[in-house]
Structure 1
């Protein structure tokens, strides 16, 4: 099947599509011993490979550094690397004995993805590079991630049409008719050496948080139910339709938690719950959490049977491989065992076929991000922005607050304007001298849009107290390494609070100043909160510039989801930053950053010294 492997997802003849299921027959020669590692014709091994959270990573390239991707663990990224791993597995197991799936978050996250969403949007004539690469590699199905909705449903539908395989989302429903908005699952019939096909059911589950994070794009159009609830509905249906193997592709982390607290009745990360509570599942490809799980075995509480989970990190850094052993007896196939592992993409070269396929698009985007748009009077770095006042976050807050203030009308125009920004990217830096799109884009690596909301002084303090949960205690003054103070574990962040859930708040026309006293208990850490040198009163009113992720409940910050919205033009913050530099030509920290820090970490009122 080597000569036809790239056509696997493109076959349309003999494909039956209904409202709830897509059934595809895969041909395989019925020769004895074709099941990898099995000589008996009634034994068979199926291999299901999986990726997740590709986030626009097609090639092994860091657009912000203008160099091959590298990190402290020397990971590599991209579909070109994945393609090489997939080809190796297919060669080892036999093409006909493998399937390839993805668990979502495909079309957002890199400059490549942004360019083909906003600069030269995909259309009937412009193909998304991720679609081109995934079609060429030969994916069989992909679950939808929450970031698939960032550019709106029409854009997603255009991407969907460009794919040679289905996008799956059993828990996405159309608000107009209550029906499935996407194909919930597929059943693939794989022929085996004994002539008895194995029917492989692949169920796709997306994240309920879409209703919060992309409310502006989906409200009134689609709803997103719980993963457990929808799996419980569809797995029995798949079984009734003959699925011998059930694999779930879930854009939901393994460790149960929700960044949005109780704002939704369904947990954000629920893959383990699905394994425990829904009988009949053999394996789950986990996504969303950007964690590496080679293999985790969870016992289903109803049947006592094991369910194997695997999560291949992110960005194409790993490939999950499920080896599923089956035996045929009394007229049907039975899963005997499932083993999972991950392959590291840094062990192989890029597939030259994929590199060549995307060469023109890659060069177009590289040229775009390296274009000079202004100059900076001095260098600025985000390396320390998590634990000390940094000019780069002041710049983001200045641009955001200025954009909101310019649109305020009536009595709102007289209110003081504040802004929040998070240290998304430790590696972000603005050089002295020429500044490119790439430099500015590196400051804001998410495609968030800007809103303005009204908060009272009491709500501002509560917001900052929530943000201060990011820090671990420091019960005495002194010098602390950053790692001993940041990324505190909380009930909603069992693996540590991520950097993107720590916000710095600043004022536009006057400085907002405060200390974070780490000798104080959580909830009582913000000390000396003042605006323009005057203590902030509980009833004082402010307009706060905030991103859509945060305003819609991401991070579960208090007060924001119900606050009056006074500005929402759906403008992306990264583009606002780029546009500001183009318009002003010069980036001068003296314009937006105070000589003295607006905020600092203290212990008992004494400033702390923090080392990298």
Structure 2
């Protein structure tokens, strides 16, 4: 494991030896589990009886430093007028530190830091932080901002692995704080591949230090979603299982407070079915099943939960959980009240709230630190790569077959056909799946830039080819149709999608076959008239499916595809493949690829 600037050595030294903390510098005794302050009798009136401190938390920053949308080339805005980015969060953090006293605060993150914007993409792929040709790479913009903000620790998110382990290690080395992952293990030794925890000391005037243990837990789904990057290298057991190992260790080290930072949602739900024995969203389960935790910073699900209390089944004590909204829109603030009793600090109460980034200005220091990197990326994404004959939008893509999604499928199917041209599968028909990743994507008429194309495919997915039967294709379509709300009356496009919380990216359309989806029928019996080459689909026929790696590895739990034979895989992002396709063609003309292959019906009657 590479060392970063603060030299976090394994489990114990990552717990604080020689690490600057909010209240000073942790002594070497912290690394050995000794606490000099707790050896004194402060229960006889010679020291303070009460102490308060705060832990601030962010999550799912996804490469957002500024309140800027690189896909629209202007300031970020949405219907709720949220603002995004670390520059805003930094201002909120400074305000909390002034309120509470800088020495009485800690700052942590719950993961998904280095993927999500063109800013983060640029420093992973265009000018990578790993360096090239023996030259040292540039500093990652997120490292520049987070180091300035003096984070104390961050959990690994699943998207940390999107660019491969070397990029993640390079980012880790640039940080002044540890990346934690108690359930990210070396596949061969089963020992931690990252520090499982950190311990921070808070100095209490005329009293013993308060020791805060921070346990980092990541998502088991990494084994599926980034299989190509981690298989044989790392393994990811469950959050509950690893927390049961490390929370007692933190208490044995003399920690007065234990807080978890989990890249895992609250509700216990799982998108990958039974493909893994561990739940995807396990934070509430951790609180309920693992004694000794006082609070949990929650991430992964891009939801805002200011405060939720879960009672631990064994101890009956309350655990407070908080999930701030994604991209730096919110900052969670946990307020702890402690009392010195029976020779040590005891947690009396914990409360949590979130603060809104749109209420403050961007930190001018962060703006100055990352300005050059931001300007470079703005210039990059505005490069013209081709022209477009007619404007295409994704607004109606969740309920209509629109040309902009057909473009993705055309590029993917052509890429796979070319890749298999000299193989034994060359004669098989190629189908392709695509989803509406952004309802605001636009490819304008006229000049087309990199940001226009990249804005259509906002994830760093790569392309694969899997072998499916006609019956598996039919089952795939039927599963995808679960996205629609069963509707027998008037149809409102705004209300018929996202059934049971299904996100847009888990609704796939498949090109190369035609079909109808009847939204009046119950889930599981909606797809009909599935045709291939003008004839009813033959369940025994073989097809090649051009599919992204997230779906191929089990993301979304679509049937058949994860177990299907892999015929080919590419390491380049689909987004890059699309940009290269546009560059090579020069002109996008939807007349060459757009067709209506699927439609929604209601009792057999077309809806739109």
TM interval, shorter chain, is: over 0.9
Q: 1:518 matched to which residue of 2? A: 519
Q: CA deviation at 1:524?
A: 1.4
User: Normalized against structure 1, the TM-score is what?
Assistant: 0.92
Q: 2:102 matched to which residue of 1? A: 95
Q: 1 CA distance for matches of 2:165 and 2:413?
A: 29
Q: Structure 1 residue 22 and structure 2 residue 34: aligned? A: no
Compared with structure 1, are the counterparts of its residues 25 and 156 closer, same or farther at alpha carbon in structure 2 (3 Å cutoff)? Answer: closer
Q: 2 CA distance for matches of 1:401 and 1:411?
A: 17
Q: 1 CA distance for matches of 2:526 and 2:139?
A: 51
SS at match of 1:22: coil
Q: 1:161 matched to which residue of 2? A: 173
SS at match of 1:483: coil
Q: Structure 1 residue 314 and structure 2 residue 326: aligned? A: yes
SS at match of 1:539: coil
Residue deviations 1:135-164, cap 9 Å, x none? 011100000000000011111101100000
Q: 2 CA distance for matches of 1:244 and 1:154?
A: 36
Q: 1 CA distance for matches of 2:522 and 2:343?
A: 64
Compared with structure 1, are the counterparts of its residues 16 and 365 closer, same or farther at alpha carbon in structure 2 (3 Å cutoff)? Answer: closer
Q: 2 CA distance for matches of 1:500 and 1:132?
A: 31
- After TM superposition, the structure 1 = structure 2 runs for residues 174-213 of structure 1, keeping only pairs within 5 Å, are 174-213=186-225
Q: 2:508 matched to which residue of 1? A: 503
SS at match of 2:220: coil
Q: CA deviation at 1:475?
A: 2.2
User: Which residue, 76, 80, 103 being the options, matches 2:83?
Assistant: 76
Q: 1:483 matched to which residue of 2? A: 494
Q: 2:44 matched to which residue of 1? A: none
Contact 1:20 1:180 in 2 (8 A): no
Compared with structure 1, are the counterparts of its residues 44 and 458 closer, same or farther at alpha carbon in structure 2 (3 Å cutoff)? Answer: same
Q: 1:458 matched to which residue of 2? A: 471
SS at match of 2:190: coil
Q: 1:349 matched to which residue of 2? A: 361
Structure 1 gaps, min length 5: 1-8, 30-39, 490-495
Q: CA deviation at 1:440?
A: 0.4
Q: CA deviation at 1:583?
A: 0.5
SS at match of 1:55: coil
Residue deviations 1:424-474, cap 9 Å, x none? 100001100000001001100000000000100000000000100000112
SS at match of 1:346: helix
Q: CA deviation at 1:483?
A: 2.4
Q: 1 CA distance for matches of 2:205 and 2:139?
A: 38
Contact 1:453 1:566 in 2 (8 A): yes
SS at match of 2:271: coil
- Comparing 408-417 with 284-293, which one deviates more in the overlay? 408-417
Q: 1:580 matched to which residue of 2? A: 581
Q: CA deviation at 1:28?
A: 4.0
Compared with structure 1, are the counterparts of its residues 10 and 299 closer, same or farther at alpha carbon in structure 2 (3 Å cutoff)? Answer: same
Contact 1:455 1:542 in 2 (8 A): yes
Q: 2:606 matched to which residue of 1? A: 607
Q: Structure 1 residue 439 and structure 2 residue 427: aligned? A: no
Q: 1:108 matched to which residue of 2? A: 115
- After TM superposition, the structure 1 = structure 2 runs for residues 262-273 of structure 1, keeping only pairs within 5 Å, are 262-273=274-285
Q: CA deviation at 1:187?
A: 1.0
Please list every run of at least 4 consecutive aligned residues from structure 1 whose deviation after the TM superposition is greater than 2 angstroms. Answer: 9-12, 15-22, 24-29
Contact 2:48 2:207 in 1 (8 A): no
Q: 1 CA distance for matches of 2:460 and 2:210?
A: 42
Q: Structure 1 residue 147 and structure 2 residue 159: aligned? A: yes
Q: 2 CA distance for matches of 1:482 and 1:325?
A: 49
Contact 1:171 1:224 in 2 (8 A): yes
Residue deviations 1:48-96, cap 9 Å, x none? 0000000000111000111000001100000000000000000110000
Q: 1:59 matched to which residue of 2? A: 66
Q: 1:329 matched to which residue of 2? A: 341
User: Normalized against structure 2, the TM-score is what?
Assistant: 0.93
SS at match of 2:327: coil
Q: Structure 1 residue 366 and structure 2 residue 359: aligned? A: no
Residue deviations 1:284-330, cap 9 Å, x none? 00000000010001111111100000001100000000001001122
Q: CA deviation at 1:16?
A: 7.0
**Number of equivalences:** 577
Q: 1:472 matched to which residue of 2? A: 485
Residue deviations 1:519-568, cap 9 Å, x none? 22211111100112111111011000000000000000000111011110
Q: 2 CA distance for matches of 1:324 and 1:363?
A: 41
SS at match of 1:46: strand
Residue deviations 1:207-230, cap 9 Å, x none? 000000000000000000000000
Q: 2 CA distance for matches of 1:377 and 1:101?
A: 48
Structure 2 gaps, min length 5: 25-46, 131-135
Compared with structure 1, are the counterparts of its residues 11 and 217 closer, same or farther at alpha carbon in structure 2 (3 Å cutoff)? Answer: closer
SS at match of 1:440: helix
Residue deviations 1:173-216, cap 9 Å, x none? 10121110000001111111232100000000000000000000
Q: 2 CA distance for matches of 1:11 and 1:435?
A: 44
User: Which residue, 426, 438, 443 being the options, matches 1:425?
Assistant: 438
Compared with structure 1, are the counterparts of its residues 147 and 27 closer, same or farther at alpha carbon in structure 2 (3 Å cutoff)? Answer: closer
- After TM superposition, the structure 1 = structure 2 runs for residues 270-419 of structure 1, keeping only pairs within 5 Å, are 270-408=282-420, 409-419=422-432
Contact 1:42 1:194 in 2 (8 A): no
User: Which residue, 86, 93, 97 being the options, matches 1:86?
Assistant: 93
Q: 1 CA distance for matches of 2:266 and 2:423?
A: 48
RMSD: 1.6
Residue deviations 1:384-429, cap 9 Å, x none? 0000001010000000011011011333100000000000100001
Q: 2:249 matched to which residue of 1? A: 237
Contact 2:143 2:174 in 1 (8 A): yes
Q: 1 CA distance for matches of 2:379 and 2:22?
A: 44
Q: CA deviation at 1:41?
A: 2.3
Contact 2:310 2:318 in 1 (8 A): yes
Q: 1 CA distance for matches of 2:137 and 2:549?
A: 31
SS at match of 1:354: helix
Q: CA deviation at 1:17?
A: 5.3
Compared with structure 1, are the counterparts of its residues 11 and 222 closer, same or farther at alpha carbon in structure 2 (3 Å cutoff)? Answer: closer
